[in-house]
Chain A
């Protein structure tokens, strides 16, 4: 079964720098771009950033509003993607989801759809003062 499971959330003090993790199973982790999406309580979804597969450089892109405060990394040997958050603010309180980019294999080259076809259940980060 294709699955993503986030961990590392909880009650975190203002200004701290937690690291969230997302463990993948059921698919070739190294072939995929992985993203983080967050959702503050009662609000909409916000794209945080993504990390490409090593085949495409393993590079990262981040939302402009968060650039400099978050870092996404991956360990393909463990099938884990991480979200390092720095200097937490109260507005960082949210459910954090890990997602997989939808890629179709089967032709001469992979077809990227730039959508998210697999989501984890999320991990909740609550920033306390």
Chain B
């Protein structure tokens, strides 16, 4: 199972929005609804932001939203804040395997 493809970097000014894409290979994102997104600050463990494409765990601000179209999932961060500067990873369920995206560094 190959890694899902994400842009290496994205950026935006405080208050703006940024959208990160995550493209699968056809056996993962396209067929399943189980795409999740994680935020990782330097030296820290990742944190779950979005699960099942669009759902937010309790405690995650509604500035973070997810969507999916065909074989591409997306994470949008609205109203960018300084603390949103981090690495972001998508993750998909592909039957008995799981796969992460290549990761996107967001700069605010």
Task: Verify B100–A113 contact, CB threshold 8 A.
Answer: no
Task: Verify A115–B34 contact, CB threshold 8 A.
Answer: yes
Residues of B contacting A46 in the complex (Cβ-Cβ under 8 angstroms) = 100
- Proximity bits, B20-52, A CB within 8 Å = 1, else 0: 000000000000101010101000011110011
Cα distance A61–B1 when bound, in Å? 13
Task: Verify A50–B98 contact, CB threshold 8 A.
Answer: yes
Range class of the A interface residue count: 20 to 34
Asked if A68 is an interface residue, CB under 8 A from chain B, the answer is no
Task: Verify B91–A61 contact, CB threshold 8 A.
Answer: no
Residues of A contacting B46 in the complex (Cβ-Cβ under 8 angstroms) = 37, 45, 97, 116, 119
Residues of A contacting B101 in the complex (Cβ-Cβ under 8 angstroms) = 44
Known: A44-B102, A122-B45. A115 touches B96 (CB 8 A): no
- Proximity bits, A99-127, B CB within 8 Å = 1, else 0: 00010000000000111110111100000
Residues of B contacting A102 in the complex (Cβ-Cβ under 8 angstroms) = 36, 48, 51, 57
> Closest 6 CB pairs between A and B?
A115-B36, A115-B51, A114-B93, A114-B34, A44-B103, A119-B45
